[in-house]
Copies of this chain bind each other. A is one copy, B any other.
């Protein structure tokens, strides 16, 4: 929604790298986890893309996103196998070489002894000018270069790495999200009062997410904004106009309920 955008907005994009997501083999959950994590720092996820394990595709998407948004977070493709080409793609996008980072080599040698084969050494590669992103879960770290953070695809490792991303971000005003649930009324009834309130509060973002519950039609109306007083006033105003429009079951619920 165009309303709700402000000049001091801090934005991010997610770039999901992986044939397994595009083929439908794996259900991505990283997008939602990253979005929610960034939200706590006042950073808005503005776009996401899923690209295959093809260098040219990763480079093109990364360059488009890193020029446009404050941050880009990539997931996937940093393991040891031949289809893990994210590091190569990031280096190509930035026009720099990869080198084997001594800290990662040391970490892996401690873990596996002196016998690091070529596959494992692949995981030590970091672009020149990059910095490491801690991995508190398992395996080698991720890395960051410019405004790009390169994380693992495995969700529990990705979430662990994220904890080392947040403190490095320029933070924005945190968005407050509140949800008003209407039961027993269709969106056809809700739409006009909702739109009236949205027009009166251009700095707020209002969305309608319909459902079919045990009592028939209903919708979760999500109100998002950065000014706590305006958010509270808008919630009250919306609940009042919905009741005026004949909605009898209107209540606030927990976000995501």
Instruction: Kindly list chain B residues whose C-beta atoms are within 8 Å of the C-beta of A34.
Output: 24
Name the contact of A188 in the complex, choosing from B46, B49, B120, B211 (C-beta under 8 A).
B120
Residue among A19, A45, A211, A222 with most chain B CB within 10 A:
A19
Q: A119–B192 contact, CB under 8 A? A: yes
Q: A83–B206 contact, CB under 8 A? A: yes
* Count of identical protomers in the assembly: 2
| Interface of A, helix, strand, loop or mixed by DSSP | mixed
Name the contact of A83 in the complex, choosing from B22, B55, B120, B207 (C-beta under 8 A).
B207
Q: Say yes or no: is A6 at the interface (Cβ < 8 Å to chain B).
A: no
Within 8 A of B (CB), among A114-173: 117-120, 122, 138, 154
Q: Say yes or no: is A39 at the interface (Cβ < 8 Å to chain B).
A: yes
Q: Which residues of A line the B interface, CB within 8 A?
A: 1-2, 19-29, 31-36, 39, 44-55, 57, 79-84, 112, 117-120, 122, 138, 154, 175, 177, 187-192, 194-195, 198-199, 205-212, 222, 224, 255-256
